[in-house]
Amino acid sequence: MRPIIGIAANLLVDKCERVKNPVKHAVEQDYIRAVEQAGGIPVVIPVQADRQAVLDIARHLDGILLIGGSDINPVLYRHRGPHAAGQVYPLVDQFYLDLIQAADALKLPVFGICKGLQALNVAFGGTLHQDLPAHVQDRPMMQPSHRVTLKEGSLVGNAVDASVLEVNSFHHQAVKDLAPGFEAVAFGEDGVIEALERQDQDPVMVGVQWHPEILAKQRDEASRRLFEAFVRRCGNRRQDASDLSEM
Ligand SMILES: [Mn+2]
C-alpha cells in the first residue's frame, strides 16, 4: 500500500458563502497533487481542538504534511513588544502543534512548508522574525524570485541533489532563533533561513520556507524530488512497522 500522508487543513472563511456556514476546512489542491505525484495517498485532516483525537488520527498515518497559512500567534513563541503578525487563528496553530507532538511521539516523518516550517521551529522552542517584506514576491507564485544555498549532506540537499536552488517566496515571517535540536540547511542571499531539519532523524522533521508544491506543477524537478523523498521516507517507516509486526 502507498504511504498515507495526512495534510493539516486550514480554516478558510468563504466570503462568497451566503447560505451555509462560511467557515471551511481547506487544503489547496497543489499540496494534494504533489503528494499524489510523489506516490503518497493524501488525507486531509480537519482542524480540531482535541489533542487525544489528533493523536488517534495520527496512528493511522505514515507521515504528516504541514502547509502554508496565516501567521503563528506570537504568544506561542513568547514574543514581547510590537508584532507584525496579521490575522492569527489560535485553533489552527494549536492543531499544528498537536500534530507535531503526535508525530514526535509516534515517530512519524513531518514535512513543513512555509507556516509548516515556522510551526516546527516554534513547537521546539524557536522564535520568528516579525516582518520581512522582501520575501513576499510580486511575481506569480509559479516563478522563482530568489536563490537559496543548500547545506551539503543535508536531507534537503540530498533530496534535490543540488547546492543552489531558485525558489519562490511568499512569507513575511521567518525563523529568528532556531529551535534547539534543529539545523538550518538552506539560506537566502540575505541570510534568511529557508530550510531546517531536526538533527535527531527519528522521526525526520524537515521544513522549507518556499512553496515546492506550486513549483512542482511546473515540472520543477527539485520540488518533485523533495516530495518524493518525503513520501519515500514515510513508506520506509511503514515497511519497518510491518516488519516489526511480523516478528
Ligand atoms: Mn524566501
Rounded Cα–Cα distance for residues 67 and 151 (Å):
23
What percent of the chain is predicted at pLDDT more than 90?
A: 85
Tell me if residue 213 is catalytic. Answer: yes
CA 165 to ligand 1 centroid distance, Å: 11
Whether residue 203 is preceded by a cis peptide bond, meaning omega within 30 degrees of 0, is: yes
Q: What is the pLDDT of residues 224-235, one digit of tens each?
A: 999 999 999 999
Closest by CA position to 57, among listed 93, 24, 8, 116: 8
Give the three-class secondary structure for 20: coil
Which residue of the set 114, 146, 171, 197 is catalytic?
A: 114
Which residue of the set 135, 146, 171, 211 is catalytic?
A: 211
Rounded Cα–Cα distance for residues 37 and 31 (Å):
10
Q: Are 171 and 133 contacting, i.e. CB atoms less than 8 angstroms apart?
A: no
Tell me if residue 114 is catalytic. Answer: yes
Q: Spell 56-80 as b/e; 16+ CB within 10 A means b.
A: ebbeebbbbbbbbbebbbbebbebe
Q: According to the model, what pLDDT value does residue 197 have?
A: 98
Closest by CA position to 58, among listed 84, 95, 90, 21: 95
Distance of CA 68 to the CA centre of its chain: 7
CA 59 to ligand 1 centroid distance, Å: 33
Which CATH number do you get for residue 204? Answer: 3.40.50.880
CA 126 to ligand 1 centroid distance, Å: 18
CA 244 to ligand 1 centroid distance, Å: 41
Q: According to the model, what pLDDT value does residue 246 have?
A: 64
Place of cell 509559479: 142
Q: According to the model, what pLDDT value does residue 137 have?
A: 95
Rounded Cα–Cα distance for residues 158 and 179 (Å):
22
**Distance between first and last Cα of the chain:** 20
Domain tally, the chain: 1
Q: According to the model, what pLDDT value does residue 247 have?
A: 58
Which residue of the set 28, 213, 221, 246 is catalytic?
A: 213
Q: According to the model, what pLDDT value does residue 245 have?
A: 67
**pLDDT per residue rounded down to tens, the chain (247 residues):** 999 999 999 999 999 988 899 999 999 999 999 999 999 999 999 999 999 999 999 999 999 999 999 999 999 998 877 777 778 899 999 999 999 999 999 999 999 999 999 999 999 999 999 888 899 999 999 999 999 999 999 999 999 999 999 999 999 999 999 999 999 999 999 999 999 999 999 999 999 999 999 999 988 999 999 999 999 999 998 777 777 666 5
CA 171 to ligand 1 centroid distance, Å: 6
Domain span at residue 156 reads 4-246
Q: According to the model, what pLDDT value does residue 51 have?
A: 97
CA 215 to ligand 1 centroid distance, Å: 14
